[in-house]
Amino acid sequence: MAAESCHAWRASFEHDFTLTLDEALRTGAIVRGMDIEEADVQTAEDIAPVVRGRILRSSYQRLVNIIQTLPDESWARLKSIFEAD
């Protein structure tokens, strides 16, 4: 279990890359059962503060409830639904 290489084949068991948790989260997102593309995550990061602020200032309780349950990462998908013809 603690071996770093295969003695018979002289092959290393060690990986040749580093993946941080931040990098893993930046390759799209899997949020509450939703597989979200990286471009959508970036868009959502851009619009989330503005949308959240407007909804909270509106004091419209149904919308406030939605933003409390909808993950920020999915807001770009919601935006595309509203913009669809």
- 81, pLDDT greater than 70: yes
AA identity, residue 20: T
State CA 55 to chain mean position distance: 21
User: How long a stretch of residues is the chain?
Assistant: 85
Answer whether residue 25 shows pLDDT above 60: no
User: Model pTM?
Assistant: 0.50
Tell me the domain boundaries of the chain: 37-85
Mean pLDDT, range 33-50, rounded to an integer = 80
pLDDT above 70 covers what percent of the chain? 61
Q: What is the pLDDT of residue 43?
A: 86
